Amino acid sequence: MFWRKKPDVSAATSPTVPTEKAQQNMASSLSTSPLSPGSNLSFAVGGGSGPNVVREIDNFMDGLIRRNPHEPEFHQAVFEFAETVMPFYMDHQKYRSARILERMTEPDRIVSFRIVWEDDQGVPHANRGYRVQFNSSMGPYKGGLRFDPSVNASILKFLGFEQTFKNALTRLPMGGGKGGANFNPKGRSDAEIMRFCHAMMSELFRHIGESVDVPAGDIGVGAREIGFLFGKYKQLANHYTGGVLTGKGLSFGGSEIRKEATGYGVVVFAEDMLNKHGKSMKGKTVAISGSGNVAIYAVQRAMRMGAKVVTVSDSRGFAHIPDGINDDSFAILQDVKENRRASLSEFAKEARGVTYHAGKSPWSVPCVVGLPCATQNEVDETMASLMVKNGIECLAEGANMPLTAQAIHVLKDAGVIFGPAKAANAGGVGCSGLEQAQNAQRLIWNREQVEQELERIMRSIHEQCVSYAPVKNGVVDYQAGANIASFARVADSMVGYGYL
Ligand SMILES: NC(=O)C1=CN([C@@H]2O[C@H](COP(=O)(O)OP(=O)(O)OC[C@H]3O[C@@H](n4cnc5c(N)ncnc54)[C@H](O)[C@@H]3O)[C@@H](O)[C@H]2O)C=CC1
Ligand SMILES: O=C(O)CCC(=O)C(=O)O
């Protein structure tokens, strides 16, 4: 069945744009919430969606879940995508006959391996490392490494899937991948982190390369870890190839702005969405979750745009800053998180006008703009309803999949401008692409050059979303726009390659 029809090779040369019929299909499928109230089936498609579209999504998800049991995060990411892409897919026979949706939801390969390292007391530990090489249609696999005890195949498959389409939106030559280990870096010394990274690279180096697969950072992996990983790769490979990892230190091939890029990009994207709807960030109350790499630079960029940032959080609680973070409190936040790697409660103790709320999430604090920048599924339906009640107007996802499918529907149904992760947080990987370009040229661009190029990438992503997005009650559906624009790009390449 899968291989029955011949590929439509002519499609490879003509980029696909949504037809009028597809736009109508999208409008009907998006006109009501796809989740039946009270349904226990989290992927049940119901309401007023076109019956054919609903049936196709159901059948497709049934098959995906059967082939990938016990992987809820992967199912969720694919559902979120399929739900908006299906009408477009159904309208394009060249994709359907090539079974592109089934093919693009199957990773190219997954490697998993043992990582044995020694702690400071001389005790050996074994962890599991992974690299999910999801799709290389657009270029070498590209995507971060995550160190967190929760890491498993489901989480990395969802991240690798998302990364494929995010990278396509940057229009740089990057495929999608993701990796990591179920290692908890919290409380570990620098020496332990170094030994862990060296042990991980002892296996990972066989699977990566500047034209093969180029990892970078994600949760628990920043410049320190990339330095240890790069050093070990250089030693094992016996050559200096900067382009094999991104997020490197500036002294050994890293790029200006990479550290700031994801957070800055999220705010630039939010500003573009607001501008498109006749609004702006200036003077807006902004709630941010997380206090890691993405969150810190989202705070900084939002402050520079004249917004008032009233929350940040970590896995233990959140800090409330009713008058907004200022330059002094931002410097303390950076020091607590980036240098001392301490809890946010320290930030609250040291900065003026900050209270700390242990065990609570920041989303009960009223805001006009929400930027979830911590982790997946941190905002559920209840929190989204509370945000709506509190007057939120715009939400851009800094983290990957921070909202449940139901939470997204609550916001969109209430007319909130919603920026999905694959568009809103693409600045990080976009800047990684610029780091690869500098490494290939053996040149270092200055800060202004990189920042200008990053803004150009974010603006182009915004335009691509708008050009594919339906508009409902005057609000652009960026989720559908991002999914369809990136689907078309990846699908056209896959169709062009034939049956691979
Ligand atoms: N670093 C990057 O360039 C990019 C990161 N992302 C995504 O952004 C998110 C944050 O990543 P980074 O800032 O790089 O990581 P990080 O390790 O620097 O920071 C993660 C933050 O999330 C918080 N956090 C982690 N688990 C949590 C939980 N279960 N509940 C509440 N808070 C939790 C941590 O306390 C920390 O503040 C992730 O979803 C990541 O996949 C997306 C695009 C690029
Ligand atoms: O910079 C990169 O290659 C990866 C960034 C990343 O992991 C992400 O976009 O989620």
- The answer to whether 90 and 1 are in contact (CB under 8 A) is no
Pull the structure tokens for residue 223. Answer: 């410049």
What is the reported pLDDT for 49? 62
Cβ–Cβ < 8 Å for 288, 392: no
Tokens (6 digits) for 263? 């957070």
Distances (CA, A) of 264 to 51, 166, 302, 373, 489: 41, 16, 8, 12, 25
Pocket test for ligand 1, best of 165, 221, 375 (most atoms within 8 A of CB): 375
Task: Confirm if 83 and 29 have CB atoms less than 8 A apart.
Answer: yes
pLDDT for res 8: 29
pLDDT tens for residues 14-65?
334 444 444 444 343 333 332 222 223 334 443 336 789 999 999 999 999 9
Residue 83 CA to residue 467 CA, distance in Å, equals 19
Query: What's the mean pLDDT when you consider all of the chain?
Result: 91
Quote the CA–CA distance of 323 and 42 in Å, as a whole number.
39
Collapse the DSSP code of 31 into the 3-class scheme (helix H, G, I; strand E, B; otherwise coil) and give the result.
Answer: coil
Query: How many angstroms separate the alpha carbon of residue 123 from the centre of ligand 1?
Result: 29
Residues 18 and 468 sit within 8 Å (Cβ to Cβ):
yes
Mutate to test the pocket of ligand 2, among 432, 438, 461 (most ligand atoms within 8 A of CB): 432
Cβ atoms of 417 and 277 closer than 8 Å: yes
The DSSP-derived string for 384-415 is HHHHHHTT--EEE--SSS-B-HHHHHHHHHTT
Going from the first residue of the chain to its last (500 residues), give the mean pLDDT of each consecutive group of 10, the final group possibly shorter.
27 37 40 29 44 93 97 98 97 97 98 98 98 98 98 98 98 98 98 98 98 98 98 97 97 97 98 98 98 98 98 97 98 97 96 97 97 98 98 98 97 98 98 98 98 97 98 97 98 96
Q: How far, in Å, CA of 138 to CA of 391, rounded? A: 40
Q: Say yes or no: CB of residue 400 within 6 Å of ligand 2.
A: yes
Which residues have C-beta within 8 Å of that of residue 421, sequence separation ≥ 6? 162, 166, 397, 398, 399, 400, 401, 402
Write down all domains in the chain, each with its CATH number in brackets. Answer: 21-104 (no CATH), 109-241 (3.40.50.10860), 261-419 (3.40.50.720)
| Ligand 1 touching residue 299 (CB < 6 A) | no
The ligand minimizing its distance to the Cα of 399 is 1
Contact partners, residue 251, CB within 8 Å, separation at least 6: none
CB distance 428 to ligand 1 below 6 Å: yes
Contact 451, 257 (CB under 8 A): yes
Give 221 Cα–ligand 1 centroid separation in angstroms.
Answer: 10
Cβ of residue 151 lying under 6 Å from some atom of ligand 1: no
Protein residue with its CA nearest to atom 29 in ligand 1: 315
Q: Is 300 exposed, middle or buried (0-12, 13-18, 19+ CB in 10 A)?
A: buried
469-487 b/e (C-beta count within 10 Å ≥ 16 → b)? bbebeebbbbbbbbbbbbb
Q: Is 288 in the pocket of ligand 1 (CB under 6 A)?
A: no
Looking at residue 185, its pLDDT comes to 98
**Pure H helices in 368-477:** 381-389, 405-413, 421-424, 427-441, 447-468
Supply the residue whose CA is at minimum distance from atom 15 of ligand 1.
Answer: 219
Q: Atom 4 of ligand 1 has which residue's CA nearest to it? A: 218
Q: 400 alpha carbon to ligand 1 midpoint, in Å?
A: 8
Q: Which two tokens stand for residue 462?
A: 């915004």
Q: Are 137 and 154 within 8 A, CB to CB? A: no
CA of 4 to the centre of ligand 2 (A): 36
Protein residue whose Cα sits closest to atom 10 of ligand 1: 374
Ligand 1 centroid, distance to 360 Cα (angstroms): 17
CA within 13 Å, CB half, 101 = 27
Predicted confidence at residue 40, as pLDDT, reads 30
Closest CA to 466 of 272, 203, 197: 272
Tokens of 44: 């049940």
**What is the tens place of the pLDDT at every residue in 377-410?**
999 999 999 999 999 999 999 999 999 999 999 9
pLDDT at 1: 26
Would you say 177 and 141 are in contact if contact means Cβ atoms under 8 Å apart?
yes
